[in-house]
Each structure stands twice: as C-alpha cells, then as structure tokens.
Amino acid sequence: MSNYVIGVIGGDGIGPEVVAEGLKVLDAAGVGMDTVPYDLGGARYLRDGTVLPDEVLAEWRGMDALYLGAVGTPDVPPGVIERGLLLRMRFELNLYVNRRPFRAPDGSHDFEVIRENTEGTYAGEGGFLRKHTPAEVATQGSVNTRFGVERCVRYAFELARNRPGRHLTLVHKTNVLTFAGDLWQRTFSEVAREYPEVATAYNHVDAACIYFVENPKSYDVIVTDNLFGDILTDLGGAVSGGIGLAASANLNPDRTGPSMFEPVHGSAPDIVGTGRANPTAAILSAAMMVEFLGETEAARRILAACADPTTQTGTTTQIGDAIAKRV
C-alpha cells in the first residue's frame, strides 16, 4: 500500500473521539498514512477567530485526502463555521459530488444518494433590503448551472451503471421550481440517452420523503440538488439505522485536489467524553476514503467489520476496538 498524506480535522465535540477510532481501524487494516492534524472548528474560532486560513487551504491542495470528525459549537453564530469552513472547502477544492450510502438495518438492501455539492441555495446568492426594519426583505436564490448539474448527473449515471440495480432516480420539485427543476430534468433526460442500460425515474422531493420511510427498497441511486440532498440524506440516515451509522464523501471526481470524508452526524457536545458516541459513521467514512484512494481490499474488510453486529455494542473505544480486531 502507498503511504498517503491525510489531513485530519478532528473538530469539535465528539469529532476527535470518533476520528481517533477511524484512524485506529485504518491502521489495523494496514493502510499506510502520514496524518497531519489541523485544529479547526467552533472551539478554534472562539479562541482566536480562525476559521480556515488561506495557508491551510494551500497545504490541503497537495494532500491525498481530508478526514473530518465534526465541527460546530453552540456558542458560534450560525453560518460562521458552516460557510467559512465546510462550504469553503467544498467550493475551493471543487468537491462537487456529495456521496452518501445507506443500508437497511437488516442488510437486505442498500442505496446511495448523490447530492450536488457546490450550487443551489448554498451558493450564497441573495441578500437583505431594509434589514432590521418592519419592512425587511430577505432573498435566497438557487444557483444552478448546466455545467454543475450535468457533471453531478453524469457521475450518478456512472455509479448506477456499475451497480447491480442499474437504476437512477432524479429527485426535485419540478412542478413548483419550474426554472431550476426544468434545467435538472432536461439535463437528466439528455444524459440518460447515453446510458440506455440504466433505468430511470423521477420523484418530487416530498414524495421521496414518504418513500424513504415506507419503501426505501424502491431506490438504487438517487441524484438531487444541494438543499434537497442535505435533507434527504439526514432522513436516509434515520431510516437506515440512525445518524451514527451514516457516512459521507465530498468528492472531487476529477482528482485535481483532495476529497474530504466525514460522518453525517454533528458534534454532539452533550455527550463528549461519555463514551456514548458511536464511531461507526466515522469508520465507514474512512472506508470510503481508502476506497476512493484505490485501497479496495482494505475498504471491503472495514465495511464487513462494521456490518458485523458483534462490533456494534459498547463504548466509543470498545466499538472501535471491536471493528479494528474484526478487520
């Protein structure tokens, strides 16, 4: 195995705890790593106002991958860390695909959500008029480009083509969001002609929320925009065993820089140090990281260990130890 240079951002709350278990499992799997720790997140911001220095971003560009635990603390105003760290990472490093796999608790079915990660309502278009007055107006636009939509849709078709189900569902709200939805629908239909072996479907996002709960087996791969993907993937985590099992990858499929891997859950400051944080999501994210780096056998063994029910009881470190031993 190669010796990969991995930037590690433990972050806030339980982030450092679960990341430590992920690194432990990677070591047990024989993945050669040189890890570079970074002190970033809500606690760092409260200490000295740092969010994401330009020099750190420059260092990251030369690394193989980034591994993040969780960031955010209640004392930091909303949007400071999310936009200044997480979204800036996605935009600056061109992490335009957010990939989140889900598995039913009984292991009978799995599906994946591909979320466009750099556009939509998270692009930051909008503003205020007459702020802090009774006549205040706030607008928040959704930015969708043919380029951005197509590269995400194409990634989803490639993924679907290589899965046994060979099925891809577009999720949007085309009956109301008639401009953004039209662009997504037309792009999806046009790219679909290049993949005749992939069956396709469309669901409104509200209907998809129902199907996630009542019939998740109807899905194989889903592709959707930034906001809808954010909401659906949290729901996916809830219906597939809990947010503590939900992993994610923020991918630069063109490999012009590092991709970033993180569990979906938050920093959970209320359970820091209690041993109650399940590290499985962080460990599964680590498996996605090494798979993306080409270490497919190590990733396969980590996934198998996480799926073993005997590894899923105990404290944070006990679960990590059990998975590392099973690997």
The residues carrying an active-site annotation are 122, 173, 206, 230, 234
Question: Would you put residue 263 in left (φ > 0), alpha (ψ -120 to 50) or beta?
Answer: beta
How many angstroms separate the CA atoms of 248 and 112, rounded?
Answer: 10
Could you tell me which of 111, 192, 120, 121 has the C-alpha nearest to residue 149?
A: 120
Contact 264, 248 (CB under 8 A): yes
Q: How many CB atoms sit inside 10 A of residue 11's CB?
A: 28
The H or E element that residue 69 is part of is strand 65-70
Could you tell me which of 321, 325, 318, 244 has the C-alpha nearest to residue 281?
A: 244
CB within 8 Å of 266: residues ≥ 6 apart: 13, 70, 72
Q: How many CB atoms sit inside 10 A of residue 190's CB?
A: 12
Contact 267, 76 (CB under 8 A): no
Could you tell me which of 187, 27, 34, 221 has the C-alpha nearest to residue 113?
A: 221
Contact 85, 71 (CB under 8 A): yes
